[in-house]
Chain A
Amino acid sequence: MSRTIKGGESFVLFPVGKKRFALAAGAVTELAKPDRLQSFPQTTRLLAGVLLRRGRIVPVCDVAPLLVGPDAPARKFFLIANRNFGPSKEWTAVPVTGECELVNAELLPVTGKLPKYVTGLLSLADEIVEVLDLDLLNAAEGAA
Protein backbone atom coordinates (compact mmCIF):
# COMPACT_ATOMS: atom_id res chain seq x y z
CA MET A 1 0.00 0.00 0.00
CA SER A 2 1.28 3.52 -0.72
CA ARG A 3 0.07 7.08 -0.39
CA THR A 4 1.37 10.42 -1.55
CA ILE A 5 1.75 13.88 -0.10
CA LYS A 6 2.64 16.39 -2.81
CA GLY A 7 6.27 17.50 -2.92
CA GLY A 8 7.59 14.99 -0.41
CA GLU A 9 10.22 12.27 -0.33
CA SER A 10 9.62 8.52 -0.24
CA PHE A 11 9.80 6.57 2.99
CA VAL A 12 9.07 3.02 4.05
CA LEU A 13 6.99 2.86 7.22
CA PHE A 14 7.42 -0.23 9.34
CA PRO A 15 5.69 -1.28 12.55
CA VAL A 16 7.48 -2.32 15.69
CA GLY A 17 4.80 -3.18 18.17
CA LYS A 18 2.16 -0.44 18.31
CA LYS A 19 4.43 2.22 16.89
CA ARG A 20 5.60 2.84 13.35
CA PHE A 21 9.00 4.11 12.26
CA ALA A 22 10.37 5.05 8.85
CA LEU A 23 13.46 4.59 6.74
CA ALA A 24 14.26 6.52 3.60
CA ALA A 25 12.91 4.43 0.73
CA GLY A 26 16.22 4.73 -1.09
CA ALA A 27 17.90 2.75 1.67
CA VAL A 28 15.42 -0.11 1.55
CA THR A 29 16.05 -3.06 -0.71
CA GLU A 30 13.07 -5.32 -0.02
CA LEU A 31 10.63 -6.67 2.52
CA ALA A 32 11.31 -10.35 3.05
CA LYS A 33 8.98 -13.00 4.37
CA PRO A 34 9.88 -14.77 7.58
CA ASP A 35 13.12 -16.52 7.04
CA ARG A 36 15.34 -18.76 9.09
CA LEU A 37 17.33 -16.63 11.46
CA GLN A 38 20.65 -18.32 12.05
CA SER A 39 22.66 -17.36 15.07
CA PHE A 40 26.15 -18.11 16.30
CA PRO A 41 28.29 -16.69 19.09
CA GLN A 42 29.10 -13.00 18.61
CA THR A 43 29.21 -9.91 20.77
CA THR A 44 27.89 -7.10 18.57
CA ARG A 45 25.00 -5.25 20.19
CA LEU A 46 21.66 -5.42 18.35
CA LEU A 47 22.81 -8.17 15.99
CA ALA A 48 20.63 -11.27 16.33
CA GLY A 49 22.25 -13.45 13.68
CA VAL A 50 22.17 -13.76 9.93
CA LEU A 51 19.79 -14.61 7.11
CA LEU A 52 20.66 -16.31 3.89
CA ARG A 53 19.09 -14.34 1.04
CA ARG A 54 19.76 -15.45 -2.51
CA GLY A 55 23.20 -16.71 -1.56
CA ARG A 56 24.10 -13.60 0.41
CA ILE A 57 24.69 -13.67 4.14
CA VAL A 58 22.71 -10.79 5.60
CA PRO A 59 23.24 -9.69 9.20
CA VAL A 60 20.03 -9.23 11.19
CA CYS A 61 19.90 -6.07 13.27
CA ASP A 62 17.07 -6.28 15.78
CA VAL A 63 16.30 -2.68 16.68
CA ALA A 64 12.98 -3.43 18.40
CA PRO A 65 14.30 -3.58 21.98
CA LEU A 66 16.01 -0.24 21.48
CA LEU A 67 12.97 1.43 19.90
CA VAL A 68 10.09 0.06 21.97
CA GLY A 69 11.69 -1.79 24.86
CA PRO A 70 12.11 -5.46 25.75
CA ASP A 71 8.45 -6.38 25.33
CA ALA A 72 8.31 -5.91 21.58
CA PRO A 73 6.00 -8.48 19.97
CA ALA A 74 7.27 -11.22 17.70
CA ARG A 75 8.83 -9.99 14.51
CA LYS A 76 7.09 -11.27 11.38
CA PHE A 77 9.06 -9.90 8.45
CA PHE A 78 12.51 -8.64 7.62
CA LEU A 79 12.98 -5.22 6.07
CA ILE A 80 16.24 -5.38 4.17
CA ALA A 81 18.06 -2.08 3.98
CA ASN A 82 21.50 -0.82 3.07
CA ARG A 83 23.95 0.30 5.71
CA ASN A 84 26.96 2.42 4.86
CA PHE A 85 30.44 1.30 5.77
CA GLY A 86 32.71 4.01 4.46
CA PRO A 87 32.31 4.17 0.71
CA SER A 88 30.59 0.80 0.44
CA LYS A 89 27.18 -0.50 1.43
CA GLU A 90 26.05 -3.73 3.01
CA TRP A 91 22.62 -5.28 3.40
CA THR A 92 21.14 -5.43 6.86
CA ALA A 93 17.87 -7.14 7.76
CA VAL A 94 15.66 -5.34 10.28
CA PRO A 95 12.96 -7.53 11.85
CA VAL A 96 9.55 -5.79 11.88
CA THR A 97 6.26 -6.83 13.42
CA GLY A 98 3.88 -6.35 10.49
CA GLU A 99 3.30 -5.09 6.98
CA CYS A 100 5.24 -2.10 5.70
CA GLU A 101 3.90 0.89 3.78
CA LEU A 102 5.50 3.15 1.21
CA VAL A 103 4.60 6.82 1.67
CA ASN A 104 5.60 10.06 0.04
CA ALA A 105 5.79 12.78 2.66
CA GLU A 106 7.69 15.88 3.63
CA LEU A 107 10.54 15.29 6.06
CA LEU A 108 10.13 17.64 9.00
CA PRO A 109 12.97 18.60 11.32
CA VAL A 110 13.28 16.91 14.66
CA THR A 111 11.59 18.77 17.46
CA GLY A 112 12.07 18.11 21.11
CA LYS A 113 14.60 15.78 22.61
CA LEU A 114 14.92 12.70 20.45
CA PRO A 115 17.84 10.32 19.96
CA LYS A 116 20.40 11.30 17.33
CA TYR A 117 19.38 8.38 15.14
CA VAL A 118 16.02 10.07 14.57
CA THR A 119 16.84 12.28 11.61
CA GLY A 120 13.40 13.74 10.99
CA LEU A 121 9.69 13.37 11.46
CA LEU A 122 6.79 12.58 9.15
CA SER A 123 3.47 14.14 9.92
CA LEU A 124 0.84 11.76 8.60
CA ALA A 125 -2.91 11.96 8.94
CA ASP A 126 -3.13 10.38 12.34
CA GLU A 127 0.40 9.92 13.56
CA ILE A 128 3.89 11.39 13.81
CA VAL A 129 6.49 8.93 12.56
CA GLU A 130 10.16 9.06 13.46
CA VAL A 131 12.54 8.64 10.52
CA LEU A 132 15.56 6.55 11.49
CA ASP A 133 19.15 6.43 10.30
CA LEU A 134 20.32 2.83 10.64
CA ASP A 135 23.99 3.79 10.71
CA LEU A 136 23.49 6.28 13.54
CA LEU A 137 21.25 3.85 15.37
CA ASN A 138 23.87 1.14 15.35
CA ALA A 139 26.60 3.60 16.23
CA ALA A 140 24.55 4.87 19.16
CA GLU A 141 23.97 1.38 20.47
CA GLY A 142 27.57 0.38 19.92
CA ALA A 143 28.69 3.32 22.01
CA ALA A 144 26.22 2.52 24.80
Chain B
Amino acid sequence: MILFSVGGTTFAISAAAVEEIRGVSGLVPLRTGYLHAKFSKFKYKLERDGRTYFVVDSNAHFHILPTRHDRLLMLRNRPAAILVDAIDRMTEISSLQALPRAFNGEERIWYRGLAVLKDAVVPVVDPDSFLTKAESTVLNAASGKVSIARGAVAG
Protein backbone atom coordinates (compact mmCIF):
# COMPACT_ATOMS: atom_id res chain seq x y z
CA MET B 1 0.00 0.00 0.00
CA ILE B 2 1.02 3.59 -0.59
CA LEU B 3 0.12 5.97 2.22
CA PHE B 4 -0.65 9.52 1.19
CA SER B 5 -2.11 12.54 2.93
CA VAL B 6 -4.79 15.00 1.98
CA GLY B 7 -6.03 17.73 4.30
CA GLY B 8 -4.41 16.16 7.34
CA THR B 9 -5.89 12.71 6.76
CA THR B 10 -3.78 9.73 5.84
CA PHE B 11 -5.21 7.44 3.19
CA ALA B 12 -3.95 4.20 1.68
CA ILE B 13 -4.12 3.04 -1.91
CA SER B 14 -2.99 -0.25 -3.36
CA ALA B 15 0.49 0.14 -4.85
CA ALA B 16 -0.68 -2.01 -7.74
CA ALA B 17 -3.19 0.68 -8.67
CA VAL B 18 -0.53 3.37 -9.03
CA GLU B 19 1.52 3.68 -12.20
CA GLU B 20 3.71 6.56 -11.13
CA ILE B 21 4.14 9.22 -8.48
CA ARG B 22 5.31 12.55 -9.82
CA GLY B 23 5.29 16.28 -9.21
CA VAL B 24 2.53 18.58 -10.26
CA SER B 25 4.19 20.28 -13.21
CA GLY B 26 2.74 20.09 -16.70
CA LEU B 27 -0.90 20.12 -15.69
CA VAL B 28 -3.28 21.85 -18.07
CA PRO B 29 -6.44 23.44 -16.62
CA LEU B 30 -9.59 21.59 -17.58
CA ARG B 31 -12.71 23.64 -18.15
CA THR B 32 -15.69 21.77 -16.73
CA GLY B 33 -17.80 24.72 -15.65
CA TYR B 34 -20.58 23.89 -18.07
CA LEU B 35 -20.85 20.29 -16.93
CA HIS B 36 -22.73 18.94 -13.93
CA ALA B 37 -21.28 20.06 -10.59
CA LYS B 38 -19.90 16.61 -9.85
CA PHE B 39 -17.30 17.21 -12.58
CA SER B 40 -15.84 20.17 -10.72
CA LYS B 41 -13.36 17.85 -8.99
CA PHE B 42 -11.58 17.36 -12.32
CA LYS B 43 -9.32 20.40 -12.31
CA TYR B 44 -6.66 19.55 -14.87
CA LYS B 45 -5.62 17.14 -17.55
CA LEU B 46 -2.22 15.77 -18.32
CA GLU B 47 -1.05 14.54 -21.71
CA ARG B 48 1.50 11.78 -21.44
CA ASP B 49 2.71 9.27 -24.00
CA GLY B 50 -0.23 10.09 -26.22
CA ARG B 51 -2.74 9.48 -23.43
CA THR B 52 -4.92 11.94 -21.59
CA TYR B 53 -5.17 11.69 -17.82
CA PHE B 54 -7.93 13.54 -16.02
CA VAL B 55 -6.60 14.96 -12.78
CA VAL B 56 -8.80 14.75 -9.69
CA ASP B 57 -8.52 17.30 -6.89
CA SER B 58 -8.72 14.91 -3.95
CA ASN B 59 -9.99 17.62 -1.61
CA ALA B 60 -12.96 18.19 -3.88
CA HIS B 61 -13.44 14.44 -4.27
CA PHE B 62 -13.63 13.97 -0.48
CA HIS B 63 -15.49 17.27 0.11
CA ILE B 64 -12.77 18.71 2.34
CA LEU B 65 -11.25 22.16 2.44
CA PRO B 66 -8.50 22.94 -0.08
CA THR B 67 -4.88 22.24 0.78
CA ARG B 68 -1.63 22.51 -1.10
CA HIS B 69 -0.96 19.62 -3.45
CA ASP B 70 2.62 18.59 -4.05
CA ARG B 71 2.27 15.15 -5.56
CA LEU B 72 0.34 13.47 -8.33
CA LEU B 73 -0.58 9.81 -8.22
CA MET B 74 -1.07 8.53 -11.74
CA LEU B 75 -3.33 5.52 -11.67
CA ARG B 76 -2.61 2.32 -13.53
CA ASN B 77 -5.00 1.18 -16.26
CA ARG B 78 -7.24 4.20 -15.71
CA PRO B 79 -7.06 7.61 -17.40
CA ALA B 80 -6.98 9.30 -14.01
CA ALA B 81 -4.48 10.92 -11.70
CA ILE B 82 -5.00 12.18 -8.15
CA LEU B 83 -3.62 15.38 -6.67
CA VAL B 84 -2.55 14.78 -3.07
CA ASP B 85 -0.71 16.80 -0.46
CA ALA B 86 2.15 14.39 0.17
CA ILE B 87 3.27 10.80 0.00
CA ASP B 88 3.89 9.33 3.42
CA ARG B 89 5.43 5.94 2.79
CA MET B 90 4.80 2.45 1.50
CA THR B 91 3.67 -0.20 3.92
CA GLU B 92 2.13 -3.64 4.09
CA ILE B 93 -1.40 -4.01 5.36
CA SER B 94 -2.22 -7.47 6.59
CA SER B 95 -5.96 -7.11 6.81
CA LEU B 96 -8.62 -4.85 5.45
CA GLN B 97 -11.75 -4.41 7.52
CA ALA B 98 -15.05 -3.66 5.86
CA LEU B 99 -16.41 -0.19 6.36
CA PRO B 100 -18.89 -0.40 9.26
CA ARG B 101 -22.44 -0.45 7.97
CA ALA B 102 -23.24 2.66 9.98
CA PHE B 103 -21.45 4.52 7.21
CA ASN B 104 -23.99 4.99 4.45
CA GLY B 105 -22.83 8.01 2.50
CA GLU B 106 -20.43 8.54 -0.39
CA GLU B 107 -17.67 6.92 1.67
CA ARG B 108 -19.12 3.56 0.68
CA ILE B 109 -18.01 4.41 -2.87
CA TRP B 110 -14.73 6.07 -1.92
CA TYR B 111 -13.30 3.33 0.30
CA ARG B 112 -12.61 -0.35 -0.12
CA GLY B 113 -12.41 -0.62 3.64
CA LEU B 114 -10.41 0.44 6.66
CA ALA B 115 -6.97 -0.68 7.76
CA VAL B 116 -5.35 -0.39 11.18
CA LEU B 117 -1.73 0.78 11.27
CA LYS B 118 -0.25 1.11 14.77
CA ASP B 119 -3.55 2.10 16.38
CA ALA B 120 -4.42 4.45 13.55
CA VAL B 121 -7.41 3.75 11.35
CA VAL B 122 -6.60 4.44 7.71
CA PRO B 123 -9.22 4.47 4.96
CA VAL B 124 -8.16 2.45 1.93
CA VAL B 125 -9.40 4.20 -1.18
CA ASP B 126 -11.01 2.49 -4.14
CA PRO B 127 -9.08 3.71 -7.19
CA ASP B 128 -12.14 3.22 -9.37
CA SER B 129 -14.06 5.81 -7.36
CA PHE B 130 -12.02 8.75 -8.64
CA LEU B 131 -13.10 8.45 -12.25
CA THR B 132 -15.94 6.26 -13.44
CA LYS B 133 -16.24 5.07 -17.02
CA ALA B 134 -19.21 7.36 -17.52
CA GLU B 135 -17.24 10.34 -16.23
CA SER B 136 -14.32 9.42 -18.46
CA THR B 137 -16.61 9.33 -21.48
CA VAL B 138 -18.06 12.73 -20.68
CA LEU B 139 -14.66 14.29 -20.00
CA ASN B 140 -13.22 12.91 -23.22
CA ALA B 141 -16.13 14.38 -25.07
CA ALA B 142 -15.80 17.66 -23.24
CA SER B 143 -12.15 17.81 -24.17
CA GLY B 144 -13.24 18.56 -27.69
CA LYS B 145 -13.82 15.29 -29.44
CA VAL B 146 -17.62 15.46 -29.19
CA SER B 147 -19.88 18.32 -28.20
CA ILE B 148 -22.12 17.76 -25.22
CA ALA B 149 -25.28 19.59 -24.36
CA ARG B 150 -25.16 21.34 -21.00
CA GLY B 151 -26.37 19.08 -18.22
CA ALA B 152 -26.63 16.07 -20.51
CA VAL B 153 -25.03 13.80 -17.93
CA ALA B 154 -26.02 14.27 -14.36
CA GLY B 155 -26.17 10.73 -13.04
Contacts and interface: CB of A to CB of B under 8 A. Distances in A.
Co-complex (A, B): yes
B121 A57 contact: yes
Interface in B61-102: 62-64, 97, 100-102
Nearest to A46: B102
A55 B107 contact: no
B114 interface: yes
Nearest to A43: B105
A12 to B, nearest CB: 19
A44 B97 contact: no
B107 A57 contact: no
Interface stretch (A13-21, A34-42, A122-130): A34-42
Given A38-B121, A41-B64, A138 B102 contact: yes
A71 interface: no
Contacts of B116: 52, 55, 57
A47 B102 contact: yes
B107 A50 contact: no
Interface residues of B, number: 23
B149 interface: no
A57 B114 contact: yes
Nearest to B110: A41
Count chain B CB atoms within 10 A of each CB in A42, A59, A90 and give the residue with the most. Answer: A42
Contact of A41 (B107, B114, B122): B107
A59 B107 contact: no
A42 B103 contact: yes
Contact of B102 (A40, A43, A61): A61
B120 interface: yes
A43 B62 CA distance: 9
Contacts of A42: 103, 105-107
Interface string B99-127: 01111111100100010100111110000
Contacts of A58: 100
Nearest to B122: A40
Count chain B CB atoms within 10 A of each CB in A39, A43, A55, A59 and give the residue with the most. Answer: A43
B120 A38 contact: yes
Interface in A98-143: 138, 142
A83 interface: yes
Nearest to B61: A41
Interface of B: 7, 9, 11, 62-64, 97, 100-107, 110, 114, 116, 119-123
Given A47-B103, A59-B102, A90-B100, 17 more contacts: A36-B119, A39-B9, A40-B9, A40-B121, A40-B123, A41-B7, A41-B107, A41-B110, A43-B107, A44-B102, A45-B105, A50-B100, A50-B121, A52-B121, A57-B114, A90-B102, A138-B102
10 contacts: A40-B123, A41-B64, A42-B105, A42-B107, A43-B107, A44-B107, A47-B102, A50-B114, A52-B116, A59-B102
